[in-house]
């Protein structure tokens, strides 16, 4: 039987003194992360490549009204120079950022590795890994010691999924990026990742009760940000029972 996680019982940290950039915040998992940081009282900045995606996302969040603490910045951060320019613009317009959550994504599946086209490889391996590396490169030097840099990853980083080789390799590369960043930047600020099983999101037509939800994923990100000891770790929540343990470990859910 799956665990029940009732977010009404969650202990939401107070992050009024924090300003977070949620890269990929308009996405399926990003939605839960944005909601959690708004609930925690932080200033939330979501960069997006297109105005239309921002408009669509505003509709998704329409139950919240128009939160004063939510800011969108339209522009690309998919390359090194673009990400640098985006970080400079956000810092100039909104002030220093304390935390970054990178939930940049997109799933691909359907072919064996030997059938993959150069276009698929470019889009799902090169472009996405580059967007992550560019985001880390732009923000790591700007974050304060008390801040956090967080990555949202899937179980495909550690378990092969037949037909999804590109995503397997991309996510595994990003998991190693988290680890090498911890090795290189541990004296600068905290770095952490979540490794997740399937996530219940707005895009899903069918949701298994044992899947973690994007709001639980969001609560973990604020839990990591709020806990000065939460550092240099991969928080694995492949299903509800692991998610319950992750939330309890971070002190954001009762034992």
Ligand X SMILES: NC(=O)c1ccc[n+]([C@@H]2O[C@H](COP(=O)([O-])OP(=O)(O)OC[C@H]3O[C@@H](n4cnc5c(N)ncnc54)[C@H](OP(=O)(O)O)[C@@H]3O)[C@@H](O)[C@H]2O)c1
Binding residue for ligand X, selected from 7, 12, 41, 49, defined by CB under 6 A: 49
C-alpha span between 230 and 66 (Å, rounded):
31
Closest approach of ligand X to the CB of residue 131, in Å = 3
CB distance 15 to 224 below 8 Å: no
Binding residue for ligand X, selected from 19, 26, 100, 178, defined by CB under 6 A: 26
CB distance 27 to 49 below 8 Å: no
C-alpha span between 51 and 38 (Å, rounded):
21
Closest CA to 197 of 139, 252, 157: 157
Binding residue for ligand X, selected from 152, 169, 230, 247, defined by CB under 6 A: 152
In the range 91-150, which residues lie near ligand X by CB under 6 A?
A: 103-106, 127-128, 131
Closest approach of ligand X to the CB of residue 10, in Å = 20
Closest CA to 45 of 65, 61, 26, 17: 26
Question: For ligand X, which is the closer residue by CB, 54 or 251?
Answer: 54
In the range 51-80, which residues lie near ligand X by CB under 6 A?
A: 53, 78
Closest approach of ligand X to the CB of residue 110, in Å = 16
**Site size with ligand X, rule: CB under 6 A:** 26
C-alpha span between 37 and 70 (Å, rounded):
10
Closest approach of ligand X to the CB of residue 14, in Å = 26
Question: For ligand X, which is the closer residue by CB, 89 or 251?
Answer: 89
Q: Does residue 48 bind ligand X (CB under 6 A)?
A: yes
CB distance 27 to 48 below 8 Å: no
Binding residue for ligand X, selected from 201, 221, 237, 246, defined by CB under 6 A: 201
6-9: long-range contacts, CB 8 A cutoff, minimum separation 24: 7/215, 7/216, 7/219, 9/253, 9/254
Q: Which residue has the tokens 């000891």?
A: 229
Closest approach of ligand X to the CB of residue 153, in Å = 5
Q: What residues make contact with ligand X under the rule CB under 6 A?
A: 24, 26-30, 48-50, 53, 78, 103-106, 127-128, 131, 152-154, 171, 196, 198-199, 201
């Amino acid at each position: 039987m799956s665990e029940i996680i009732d977010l009404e019982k969650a202990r939401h940290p107070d992050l009024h003194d924090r300003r977070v950039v949620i890269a990929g915040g308009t996405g399926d998992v990003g939605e839960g992360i944005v909601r959690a940081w708004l609930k925690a009282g932080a200033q939330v900045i979501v960069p997006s490549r297109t105005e239309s995606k921002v408009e669509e996302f505003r509709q998704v969040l329409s139950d919240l009204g128009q939160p004063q603490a939510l800011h969108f910045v339209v522009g690309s951060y998919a390359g090194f120079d673009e990400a640098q320019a985006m970080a400079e613009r956000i810092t100039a317009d909104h002030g220093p950022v304390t935390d970054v959550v990178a939930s940049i994504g997109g799933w691909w599946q359907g072919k064996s590795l030997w059938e993959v086209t150069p276009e698929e490889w470019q889009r799902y391996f090169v472009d996405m890994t580059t967007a992550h590396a560019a985001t880390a490169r732009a923000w790591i030097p700007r974050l304060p010691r008390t801040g956090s840099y967080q990555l949202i990853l899937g179980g495909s980083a550690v378990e092969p999924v037949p037909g999804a080789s590109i995503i397997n390799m991309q996510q595994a590369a990003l998991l190693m990026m988290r680890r090498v960043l911890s090795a290189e930047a541990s004296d600068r600020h905290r770095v952490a990742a979540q490794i997740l099983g399937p996530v219940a999101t707005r895009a899903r037509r069918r949701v298994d009760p044992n899947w973690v939800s994007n709001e639980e994923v969001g609560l973990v990100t604020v839990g990591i940000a709020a806990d000065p000891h939460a550092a240099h770790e991969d928080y694995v929540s492949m299903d509800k029972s692991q998610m319950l343990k992750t939330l309890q470990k971070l002190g954001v859910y009762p034992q």
